[in-house]
Amino acid sequence: MAEGSDDIQALIAQMARLPGLGPRSARRLVLHLIRKRSGQMIQLARLLENVAQGSRECLTCGNITDRDECAICADPARATGELCVVEDVADLWALERGRAFRGRYHVLGGTLSALDEIGPEDLGIPGLVDRIARDRVTEVILALNATVDGQTTAHYIAEALAGSGVAVTGLAQGVPIGGELDYLDDGTISAALRARRRL
């Protein structure tokens, strides 16, 4: 046993399985933490335990929360009639960091995928259509990734809402702020060109 104790070896193995880490970075992290074992490491353990025990999905929108309903769904000021549909919670967090959207969300938890046999029911799209009618939503913003599966999903939802009187919109495609043309893929450049606007 090279690394101290069975628990230390098990901890390194667990850390090494995390996305973006590997055996070497796991070993370095664990040694760093052991050096700070009475402070940072205990705190991290307690926070992980608390979050693991206390987190659940918001029953209304699918956001991660520590209650039945997340802070956004519980906030009456966010009943703007705008509903932003995202693939996963990471996207919801990214939009909230942008502070530009003041309505509510719906987290699909994935995209339609023929290959992975993920259909509309798996993503709760019938429930989403019900929610849109029930909550008097006036605009659905499909903030899905610009991938094939993301766009397939956006089209499916747009069709499901056709004739409902709800406006269905999507994020504008174009050059990101600070983005250099030379580094963008061709699809992005073409889309930005097609959507060009008068200055």
Q: Which residues bind a copy of itself (CB under 8 A)?
A: 1-5, 7-8, 10-11, 14-15, 17-20, 25, 27-34, 37-38, 40-55, 63-66, 70-71, 88-90, 93, 96-97, 182
For residue 72, the minimal CB distance to Zn ion (Å) is: 5
Instruction: Give the helix, strand, coil percentages of the chain, each rounded to 5.
Output: 45, 10, 40
Q: Which range binds Zn ion by CB under 5 A, 41-49, 71-79, 129-137, 170-178?
A: 71-79
63 binds Zn ion (CB under 5 A): yes
CA distance linking residue 150 with residue 172, whole number of Å: 14
Residue for token digits 């039945």? 68
Size of the site for Zn ion (CB under 5 A): 6
Residue 11's binding partner among Zn ion, a copy of itself, none (Cβ under 5 to 8 angstroms by kind) is: a copy of itself
Q: Which is nearer to a copy of itself, 47 or 148 (CB)?
A: 47
Element (H, E) at 157: helix 148-160
CA distance linking residue 113 with residue 105, whole number of Å: 22
Residues 6+ apart with CB under 8 A from 156: 112, 120, 125
Q: Which is nearer to a copy of itself, 65 or 153 (CB)?
A: 65
Q: Which is nearer to a copy of itself, 35 or 164 (CB)?
A: 35
- Cβ burial of 99 (10 Å; 0-12, 13-18, 19+) is exposed
58 binds Zn ion (CB under 5 A): yes
Element (H, E) at 34: helix 23-35
86 binds Zn ion (CB under 5 A): no
